[in-house]
Structure 1
Amino acid sequence: MKAAQITSFGTPDVLRVTETDTPTPGAGEVLVAVEASSVNGHDTIVRAGGLKMVSGRKFPIGAGLDFAGVVVKTGAGVAGFRAGDRVWGTVHPRQRHTTAAAAEYVVVAADRVGLAPAGVSSIEAASLVVAGSTALLALRESVGLRDGERVLVRGAAGGVGTAAVQLAHAMGGQVTALARARHAAALRDLGADEVLDYGTTTSEEIGPFDVIVDTVGSELNCYRGRLAKGGRMVTVGLSAPALAAIAASAIHGSRRIRTFSANPGSAVLDDTAGHVTSGALRPVVHSVYPLTDVAAAHQAFERGGAMGKHVLAVSG
């Protein structure tokens, strides 16, 4: 099979699409013919060498976290899936993979897979696996968004941001999106009540908010200061400064900054699919690349400025 692999740590140029053996599912695992996989921040951090304790230093390392495709074969003890099922899911982000989701086939534990939502293509589904489940967990579990609360989504045009805008709207939030001005109309269409241009709007000019969902990872203390009494903030944009701000917030004051590592299992994937099926969560795809152009997809992700996700079309 063809698989995208990291040949050394560095820029997108270290990515190669190579021929390798098709994996075989073991007990409790499923073999999926991958039709699409998206580019996530986790993928670029692994490629750059930022997660060596997880990825290891032995090459090649598999590229790609999420996938949408069709079950080909199931291992012993798998009862919930069968060949022909359309599914989506992720490889485990804290395990080493020689081949991962950006490949023609992937083997994963059955509890990391869910039935893909009906009515969307595999390209569209792949754009929502990590983005949709991360936004759902951030709003439902981390900050416990309640009906009528004022919500700021920072980095609202990205994959997680566009999902957070939609889900916050569906949960009854009064949504303010902070993004590039050119994305304003599209973000209003997704459910934002107000869109602010991040290039001209400072943190001191806005708020207060009951909830802040941050996907950027910078200036966290400044935005934390825009929380109302009892407000909650969650960030998924992790960096060294972000971790320092999170630690400080746990010591000083009640307005704590939360974070988490999105690692969705079947139940969360099924919940996310339900929001897609109901129409509360729609895919936002910026661009589609063939698997052979995985390096170009990573380059586009790192340039930023896109509305929605960069997706790799693998097969199908």
Structure 2
Amino acid sequence: MEDRTMKAVLFDRFGGPEVLYVGRVPRPRPAPGEVLVRVRAFSVNGGELAARSGRVRIVTGRRFPQRVGLDFTGEVAALGAGATGVAVGDRVWGVLGRSAGFGSAAEYVTVPAERLGRVPDALDLVAAAALPVATTAVTALRDRAALRPGERLLVRGAAGGVGSAAVQLGRAYGAEVTGLARAANLDFVRALGAHHAVDHRTVPPAELGRPGPFDVVLDTAGTGLRAFRRLLGPGGRMVAIAFDLTRPAASLGYIAASAVHGRGRVRFFSGNPRRALFDDLAREVTEGNLRPSVDRVFPLEETAEAHRALEAGGVRGKYVVRVDRG
């Protein structure tokens, strides 16, 4: 009799990485318009850490078991009725939509067909799992900030998943790129293409505006937004992709108030990519503007260790989890 279950990473209570375990759950079937993907790999993202710890339980709720995993790469295993744009066997990448929550840390995942894109042939699927979140960097710099050649770009969190992509894309778009990271990662940030790499622990924001202001600030941390907003020159734009989870109301309130007060509006958004954006991502890779940065690859059974490593800080690019099937 065919086994209709699969492995998935679960947790039955909020807490540290130790609450994660690999269990078995029913294998999903694609609904109309959906695609069943056999997952090859996924990356670990900061939002999952917050969900697992219970810091955003107002969003995730308290029903258990809960799942982790936001992005993924893999092969199309089956198509639901009416699903178009991909075929069985295609190598794809994607990000679960806002309404879907988490769940890609598993052997299979279902996703609407329009939330998938084809992975470039030259990319290994495990390494490619570092890149779906780079759609956030594309949106932030190209669409929200409208970054132009010759402008000065400051990337906060330049060694992380989105930040490392933003450094590469900023350079490709013709900007003068300054990346903030911890001291141990400065050479890595320079190797990505940053013109300047600065230790955020020793150089305060007020000193970053020398020799001049920035045209665009990309913030991946969400804390201290006021200080970084002051670094913008006339016509400057600040894009934030995170907010302070210790003071969410105040953080989001400040972002909203920036639309009408002071210099430089703070543009905030949460990534929710669709096929056209994944096509753009593939194009950036094919044209040589972007490459995956994988710090370390973990097996599925060590997902908790991958969470622990991300919480410890200092990641260079992404921690990727490989899903093997016997």
TM-score, normalized by length of structure 1? 0.95
Cα deviations across residues 48-98 of structure 1 (Å, max 9, x unaligned)?
A: 22333442321112210000000011111112111110000012233356x
What amino acid is the match of 1:121?
Answer: D
Partner of 1:155: 157
1:248 aligns with 2:257: yes
Conserved 8 A contact 1:7-1:61: yes
Conserved 8 A contact 2:120-2:282: yes
Cα deviations across residues 267-297 of structure 1 (Å, max 9, x unaligned)?
A: 1111111111111011111111111111111
Paired residue for 2:282, among 251, 264, 273?
Answer: 273
Conserved 8 A contact 2:232-2:263: no
Please, which runs of 5 or more residues in structure 2 have no aligned partner?
Answer: 1-5
Once the two structures are TM-superposed, the CA of residue 144 in structure 1 deviates from its matched residue by: 1.0
What amino acid is the match of 2:26?
Answer: D
1:263 aligns with 2:275: no
Q: Give the Cα–Cα distance (whole angstroms) in 2 for the partners of residues 124 and 139 of structure 1.
A: 23
1:110 aligns with 2:119: no
What amino acid is the match of 1:277?
Answer: T
Partner of 1:23: 28
Give the alignment's Cα RMSD to 1 decimal: 1.4
Once the two structures are TM-superposed, the CA of residue 309 in structure 1 deviates from its matched residue by: 0.5
1:226 aligns with 2:231: yes
Conserved 8 A contact 1:56-1:96: no
Conserved 8 A contact 2:152-2:214: yes
What amino acid is the match of 2:278?
Answer: L
Secondary structure of the structure 1 residue equivalent to 2:259: helix
Query: What is the percentage of aligned positions where both structures have the same residue?
Result: 49
TM-score, normalized by length of structure 2? 0.92
Paired residue for 1:164, among 156, 163, 166?
Answer: 166
Q: Give the Cα–Cα distance (whole angstroms) in 2 for the partners of residues 56 and 199 of structure 1.
A: 35
Once the two structures are TM-superposed, the CA of residue 185 in structure 1 deviates from its matched residue by: 2.2
Paired residue for 2:302, among 293, 296, 301?
Answer: 293
Q: Give the Cα–Cα distance (whole angstroms) in 1 for the partners of residues 310 and 100 of structure 2.
A: 23
Paired residue for 1:142, among 130, 141, 144?
Answer: 144
Paired residue for 2:85, among 37, 55, 80?
Answer: 80
Q: Give the Cα–Cα distance (whole angstroms) in 2 for the partners of residues 95 and 83 of structure 1.
A: 22
Partner of 2:322: 313
What amino acid is the match of 2:130?
Answer: S
Please, which runs of 5 or more residues in structure 1 have no aligned partner?
Answer: none
Secondary structure of the structure 1 residue equivalent to 2:26: coil
Partner of 1:45: 50
Q: Give the Cα–Cα distance (whole angstroms) in 1 for the partners of residues 29 and 58 of structure 2.
A: 26
Conserved 8 A contact 1:61-1:96: no
What amino acid is the match of 1:134?
Answer: T
Once the two structures are TM-superposed, the CA of residue 186 in structure 1 deviates from its matched residue by: 2.1
Once the two structures are TM-superposed, the CA of residue 6 in structure 1 deviates from its matched residue by: 2.3
Q: Give the Cα–Cα distance (whole angstroms) in 2 for the partners of residues 118 and 55 of structure 1.
A: 36
Conserved 8 A contact 1:65-1:93: no
1:123 aligns with 2:132: no
Q: Give the Cα–Cα distance (whole angstroms) in 1 for the partners of residues 235 and 89 of structure 2.
A: 48
Once the two structures are TM-superposed, the CA of residue 227 in structure 1 deviates from its matched residue by: 0.5
Once the two structures are TM-superposed, the CA of residue 12 in structure 1 deviates from its matched residue by: 1.4
Partner of 2:3: none
Q: Give the Cα–Cα distance (whole angstroms) in 2 for the partners of residues 313 and 137 of structure 1.
A: 27
Conserved 8 A contact 2:157-2:221: yes
Paired residue for 1:187, among 186, 189, 207?
Answer: 189
Cα deviations across residues 142-179 of structure 1 (Å, max 9, x unaligned)?
A: 11111110000111011111000001111111101111
What amino acid is the match of 2:13?
Answer: S
Q: Give the Cα–Cα distance (whole angstroms) in 1 for the partners of residues 279 and 160 of structure 2.
A: 22
Once the two structures are TM-superposed, the CA of residue 17 in structure 1 deviates from its matched residue by: 0.7
